Structure 1
């Protein structure tokens, strides 16, 4: 049996206010072709389908259009979707009955019965091969909030222990159903211990003091765990069968160097025989110029030297992050950068200034409350400038500040 594992699509995401519908559509088209070419039996989507809990109608059309086309081109394909921390569980599950009729199972949240017991049946999905035989059981566990987990009668972190107990209970149910040569798989959307995260595009998950979960919560008999949340494709706990597929496209400039991929898992009876990364082509490049912050003259020269295809359509033009090392304030920075790239087929997404670090003694300029009360606005401005840049404020900046403070300026603004 052959599976494909993907996650963290973040449909509807914008990059510094630039719409990314085109890039997401390129990925979905590629994924559809890959499903057909690889003759996949099942597709596991491990959460964060949308970028936020209230996705646009365009983002929802992208998802449901993909599911419809997948069913048309690969009629035997099963799709299992779990909610991530960016998704609205209820919104994701709303069309569930319609989707299930076409081979897609959506698990957005954990449901409890009238007696308060968790409905484990909803979390266990049988997976069939092309002949219709059950070859695996999938534990479809969505992103878990404190109210979703059972109470574990052990000491320690209640949330962490509750998650471990829920996986144990779901695994026990799947184990009772499985027959010899059938595999048990797990899905989850969480931050695992030692997982490498992106510096500025992943939302931290900290609940009850617990940020990362141990690999030990997965039973050793689980053939493969398809994880979502971290955007870098990686193994967990140095175990080959516990994997993050990562996001299919870079969601910030911090992810420029990521190798985005979908994972192909070939099952041989109850084990994962082979796990193969399938690299996702990047539809639009992200450029960091220069690669490391440099003085402004060097940066402007590098921008002017950019040699890009002038015939690139607007939706294919690279996003640009400009990285500048400054000794002090540069009020005309953006104007100079825009002049350097004028006429070039790029989209200026971000200017990242890095200023020299000013070392100060702790408490060197500490003032009493009485002293603070005596300060005038221009005194505060001078002190802040000195703290930020390590030098006296220039006369032109003092003049500009004084003009801002003139009576009546606030009303005219």
Structure 2
């Protein structure tokens, strides 16, 4: 039986971009997605984690999600929405609203559930996908972000994170095989950093037991499609049926050239040839442009003058500008104002200026920022570590990020008491 679904991830609802709200951009994406759902009528929508940008999202971000679920259910009542928690999400929080989600034919899997006898609660992780006639056309194996504290210490197979991750996949896939009938598809949805995946500078490192990237060997060949979340660039990992859908909007300037998309997947389990899997890329229109301007001061001024003119009344709709200029002299004190004066009025938001000094060989030295945003825990640790005279050490950084993960989990536990 044919199954057709959408794969998306990393919405990061509630994100602030250099203190600017992305609410308008997310609204435009969600309106576009509703239109695609109405037109295509998929059996399921898979959201592979990082639904929100922080574990305690603002009410506006939560409202945006729940309004979308209501609107999606109105245009496609039979469609199921399956979502998992990412490393930015609180797994407990997204599961707490289960009665609300059921109303809109949605299901959230936020944490790995265990039975009283220390075995996996497989019913919690295995979700059927139904067609319009309420027939099971596929099974979705849902694996939210795997926090070490939630997966280790339950039995002899979970003594450490690596063993626990392998055990989870083996148990879940084995159970899925027993439940799957002929002509039903198997889909695995996971929020993880896979080996070989290409990153941007906006993804928070995932450290599980000092190991960042997982191997695709965890996935059995019986799995028809692996829907991944975490990396923001749309990409295949090793083979065509293992994919990151990527984020729907650029979450940093390093993502300017990404072709943001939702992947429409159609599986024909009865086929054993190329027509078994059909992929259709739905490109997401960009509602607010980002401009990265680089060069000498004279080149930067020329490029700023060449940008399109014409006012944009609403500040939340205006385009973002990031300037990186190269110089061998200290900057003038009113340089930012000079940049602002050259830009077309009421169209752009100049959100960052950085400079790189030239040395005697006219090569670029270390970049220095003029406009700073609040540092992440990782960046703040690196700054303090290097200020103390220590060299950058990948092992130390991984240990620190493991502590950050534990602190985030502790915060979630306190929130849910």
TM bucket normalised to smaller: 0.7 to 0.9
Q: Is the 8 A contact 2:157 2:164 kept in 1?
A: no
User: Which TM-score applies when normalising by structure 2?
Assistant: 0.81
1:125-163 Cα deviation digits (max 9, x unpaired): 0001122110101001100011333568689x9323321
From 123, 126, 131, the equivalent of 1:121 is 123
Partner of 1:323: 324
Query: In structure 2, do the counterparts of structure 1 residues 285 and 29 end up closer, same or farther at CA, with 3 Å as the change threshold?
Result: same
Q: Is the 8 A contact 2:4 2:267 kept in 1?
A: yes
Q: How does 1:43-122 map to 2 (within 5 A)?
A: 43-122=45-124
Aligned to 2:278: 274
1:194-343 correspondence to structure 2 within 5 Å = 194-199=196-201, 201-237=202-238, 239-269=239-269, 273-289=277-293, 293-310=294-311, 313-330=314-331, 331-341=333-343, 343=345
CA distance in 1, matches of 2:123, 2:297: 61
Equivalents in 1 of 2:44, 2:157: separation in Å?
A: 37
For residue 344 of structure 1, report the CA deviation from its aligned partner. 4.8
CA 1:270–1:101: 2 relative to 1, 3 Å: farther
Which of 133, 140, 143 is 2:142 aligned to? 140
CA contact (8 A) 1:150 1:165 kept: no
Change (3 A) 1:134 1:357: farther
For the 8 Å contact 2:309–2:344, the answer to whether it is kept is: no
Task: Please give the per-residue CA displacement for 1:268-317, whole angstroms capped at 9, x wherever unaligned.
Answer: 0267521121100001100112xxx3111221222123222335643322
Aligned length: 354
- Contact 2:194/2:213, CA 8 A, preserved across alignment: yes
Supply the distance in 1 between the matched residues of 2:312 and 2:233 (Cα, whole angstroms): 32
Deviation, structure 1 residue 174: 1.3
8 Å Cα contact 1:231/1:246 also seen in 2: yes
- CA distance in 2: counterparts of 1:270 and 1:124, whole angstroms: 22
| TM-score of the two chains, using structure 1 as the length reference | 0.82
- Contact 1:223–1:270 under 8 Å retained in 2: no
Separation in 1, partners of 2:81, 2:232: 21
Secondary structure of the 1:53 match is coil
Provide closer, same or farther for how the CA distance between residues 358 and 243 of structure 1 changes in structure 2, counting only shifts above 3 A. Answer: farther
Greater C-alpha radius of gyration: 1
Q: Distance in 1 between matches of 2:263 and 2:308?
A: 34
The gaps in structure 1 that reach 5 residues or longer are: 360-383, 385-413
Distance 1:179 1:82 in 2: 25
Counterpart of 1:169 in structure 2 is 171
RMSD, aligned CA: 2.1
- How far off is 1:358 after superposition? 7.5
Check the 8 A contact 1:135/1:269 in 2, yes or no: no
